[in-house]
Structure 1
C-alpha cells in the first residue's frame, strides 16, 4: 500500500486549513479509506486532532529542523501504511524563515520536495472576484509548487460562491469546495493554540458534523483524483534520536502532553520501552524505569494540583538520586523551585533545579532553535547538536545557579546564549528537541 497524497495550505494562518484538513480526514475515514494525517512544521497540537479523525497517529514534517533523510523516512513510513495522505500546512503556504532554499520551514518546501499537489484554502469573507488575483499569485509564485485546487471558506451565500468560483475558474484552477460561514465549525483556542483534542468531551460528535459538512460542501471524489504519490529522493534511513534510557517513565496527562510522535517512535525503534504515569494523579515514575521524561504541556493551568502532588514530588526526587530526569518546556517549569500561575500566585514545584517561572508575567517565546549540548545527558553526549523549537508564554523570573544545559542559536544562526539547567541527574530546558543535525 502506497498512499496518494496532497497538502492542505492557505495564504495565512486562520484561513481555515485545520477545519478543512480535519473535515477531509474524517470524511475519508468514514468512507473506509486508510487515511494518514501529517502536520507541516513543529506544531504538536494539531496531530492529536488528526489521530482522533483517522484512528491512526499523525506525525510532523519540518524542513528546517529535519534533514532530508528524516523527512523522507517519516513520509515513506506514513505513505506505506495508508491509502490517502493529507498533510496540513503551517501558517501561509510560503511563510518560513531566512534559511537555505527548501530548508525554511515553509509548507511550500514540502510541496516542492515531495511533488505533492496543494489544495489552497481561501477565506473569502469580505471579498469576491479579488480572490482570483490571490490564487493567480500563489499559483505563479513558485514553479515547483502546484496549486491543484481551491476550497473557499466562509462563503456568505450562493451568489457569493458563484462570483468567486467563476473568477477563479478562468485561471484553470478548479474550485473543489465551498464552506459556509459557520462559527460552530471552529474549535476553541487558548494561549498555545487549539484546546487539546483530549479535552473535548464532544470531539467525536464535532468530527461527525464536519465529516458531514465535507460530504455536502467539498467535491471529495475530485480531491481524491488530484492526489499524487509522494516523490521520495533521499537514500537510506535516518537514525532516530537516542532514547534517554532502556525503559522510560513518560509523564502523560493534561499538564504533560506535548511529545513529538517521531521522537517516541524513534525511541521504540531503538529498543526502548515507554511507561506512562500521571503527576496530576500524584503518581510516581515507575520504579522499573531507568530514565524519566517530563514533556511540555500546560503546568501553568494545573500549578496548584501539581504543588499538592507530594507523592509525585517526593518520588521524582528519589528517582533523580540515581537516574536521569529531563524536562522540556512545561516539564522544565515543574523541575524548578516555583511556578507563578496566571493570577500571580506562586506554587512550589519539585525544586530539582533552582530556577522559577511565571505565567503571570507572560511573554511570547517562539522560534526555531539549534542547541549545542554542554554536557552529557538524556539528550545525548556533550557536543551533540540538536534542532528543535521553542513556543511558550512563561517567563524565567529567577535563573537559579545551576549549570546551563545548552548553547542556543535561533533559526538564522544568531546566538541566544546559554540556557536550561543541569544538576546531578536532572536536566531541563524550554527547548523541544526534534532531530539531530
Structure 2
C-alpha cells in the first residue's frame, strides 16, 4: 500500500504536508521512498534531503503509463514506507483542446490508444497526467489536503464534491490545513461529520514555518542554510498533528524486495561523463543519471561555479537546468571553467545542455536586474531574463540530426523558464507544439558543429533509452569536428 498526497487546488500545502510526513518517518529511523507526480525538479530535492533517498518522478507525459507503473513498483518495494506527492489540484491534468482537428487526441496517441477501443475519450484525457490519473493507474488511495483558512461549513461541500466526482478515486481521508483556532476546528469537524470521512491530520496556521521561494518556485535545498531548523519544526508539528495510528498502515509498503539492476550492455571501460552539479545547475531526473550509469557511464560531478578545472579524461559533458541567472556573476568570474568548457566543446567532446545549461553556453546572460555577464560563448546568442513564464509540456519534432536524435523524430518534454534568447538559431533543432493539441509553440534549440545538443526542452529518458544510448555511443567514438576516431581503452 501507499498513499498519494493530493490538494483540492494548488497552493493548499501539499508540499508542507508531504515534507512533514517524510521528516517524521525519517526521524523515526524508518526507510521511506518518495515519489512526485509531474515534471518538477525542486520538490524532489526536498524529499531527498529529508529521506536520504532519491525521489522518483511519475510522469506519463514525459515517459508512459507503463513506465510510471514499472518505476513505482521497482522503488516502492525497496522501502518500508512509500509516499507520493501529487501535482496541482487532484484532477488538474492535460486537457483536450475542444477545437482540436486531429482525428485522435494527441494525448491518447501518446498512449497508443485507438478511438474504437475507448468510447469515453473526453473522460480519459481531461485529467491525463493528473494526480487522479496516477491514483487510478497505481490503484492507490488519496489523502486530500484542504486549505481551511477561509472555510468553515463549506468544507463539507468541497470534500463531498471531490469524493463523488470520480467513483474510481478512493479518498482515504483529509488533512485540514491552516486551521485558525480550536473554535474554527470545531466548525470544520461538525461540517464534515455527516460525511463520515476520516480526518487524518490537522495543521494549525504556522507563520513561523516557511520555505523561501522565487521566480521558478521554491528555493532549492542547497541555498537554504536554515532548512534543518525548518525540518525540526516540521517534525515537532507532525508528531502531534497527524493520526499516526491510521496513517502508518496506509503508508506501509506491501512488500520489500532486493533491488534489481537492468541488464544492459556496457562499453569495455566506463565512459567518463562530466555532470555539472552545484547551486547553478541541479535540475536532473535521478532516473536519467541512473540510466547513464546502468549503460556504462561513470558520472563525475563538478561545479562550474567553484571548480577551476574540468574532471580529467572526460568523454562527454551534461549540463542540466537550474538557476544560472541567480549565479551569473559567479559563473562569469570563473573564467577558467568557462574557457575549459569552451575548449572541450571545440575539441569535439559531446555535450548535452538543457535549459539552464543552454543559457550557460550562450555568449552572454542578462540577469533579472538587467546586468550582462559573459558566459561560455559556444552559442552565438544572449539569454535574457524576462517576466514572461514559458511553461508546459511539449511535443517536439526534430528538424535536424543531433547527437541525441535524428531529424523527424518526435520527443515529449517540458519547458519551464523565464529567459529567452535574443537571437534564435538559424537552423533550429525542434519545431514544438503543445502536448495536448496541434497548437504550434515555435522553433527552438541549437545544434553546433561541435556535437552540442542545446535546448530549453527537459527530457526524461525512462521511456526513451535509445537517447542516452546514442549519446554514450557518440562519446565512445571520440567524435571530433574533423574526423571520427576509435576510442582507445
TM-score (norm 2): 0.83
SS of the residue corresponding to residue 327 of structure 1 reads strand
Are the counterparts in 1 of residues 396 and 411 from structure 2 also a CA contact under 8 Å?
Answer: yes
Tell me: CA distance 1:120–1:71, structure 2 relative to 1, closer, same or farther (3 Å).
Answer: same
* Deviation of 1:391 (Å): 0.4
Residue number in structure 2 paired with 1:353: 379
Match of 1:149 among 142, 161, 173: 173
1:418 maps to 2:443 = yes
- Output the CA distance in 2 between the equivalents of 1:154 and 1:10: 13
1:48-90 Cα shifts (integer Å, max 9, x gaps): 1101111111111012222122112210121111111110011
Larger radius of gyration: 2
Which residue pairs with 2:313 in the alignment? 288
Q: 1:229 deviation in Å? A: 5.8
8 Å Cα contact 1:6-1:87 kept in structure 2: yes
Contact 2:163 2:170 in 1 (8 A): yes
Aligned partners of 2:12, 2:18: CA distance in 1, in Å?
Answer: 12
Q: CA deviation at 1:263?
A: 1.0
Structure 1, 272-281 or 412-421: larger mean CA deviation: 412-421
Whether 1:265 aligns to 2:290 is yes
Distance 2:285 2:140 in 1: 23
- 3-state SS of 2:87 partner: coil
1:186 aligns with 2:186: no
Q: What's 2:350 paired with? A: 324
Residue 292 of structure 1 deviates from its aligned partner by 0.5
TM-score relative to the length of structure 1: 0.92
Contact 1:353 1:422 in 2 (8 A): no
* Cα offsets for 1:237-271 (capped at 9, x unmatched): 9999x99x932110011111111111111111222
1:66 aligns with 63
Q: Does 1:49 align with 2:74?
A: no
Give the equivalent residue in structure 2 for 1:135.
Answer: 159
Give me the CA root mean square deviation. Answer: 2.3
Q: Are the equivalent residues in 1 in contact too, given 2:77–2:254 (CA < 8 A)? A: no
Show the counterpart of 1:335: 361
Q: Does 1:210 align with 2:218?
A: no
Residues 383-429 of structure 1: CA distance to partner in whole angstroms, max 9, x if unpaired?
4432221101112222254x322222211232323211111112211
Aligned residues: 426
Could you tell me whether the CA contact under 8 Å between 1:406 and 1:419 is conserved in 2? yes
- The Cα shift of 1:190 comes to 0.6
Q: Aligned partners of 1:227 and 1:322: how far apart in 2?
A: 49
**Residue 25 of structure 1 contacts residue 50 of structure 1 at CA under 8 Å; is this kept in 2?**
yes
Name the CA shift for 1:374/1:273 in 2 (closer, same or farther; >3 Å). Answer: farther
Q: 2:250 aligns with which of 222, 226, 235?
A: 226
Q: Which consecutive aligned stretches of 4+ in structure 1 deviate over 6 angstroms post-superposition?
A: 237-240
Unmatched tracts of structure 2, length 5 or more: 96-106, 109-123, 256-260, 465-489
Structure 1 alignment gaps of length 5 or more: 232-236
Other-structure match for 1:309: 334
2:20 equivalent in structure 1: 23
SS at structure 2 position matched to 1:354: strand
Q: Give the Cα separation in 1 of the matches to 2:128 and 2:309.
A: 41
Q: Which residue of 1 aligns with 2:93?
A: 96
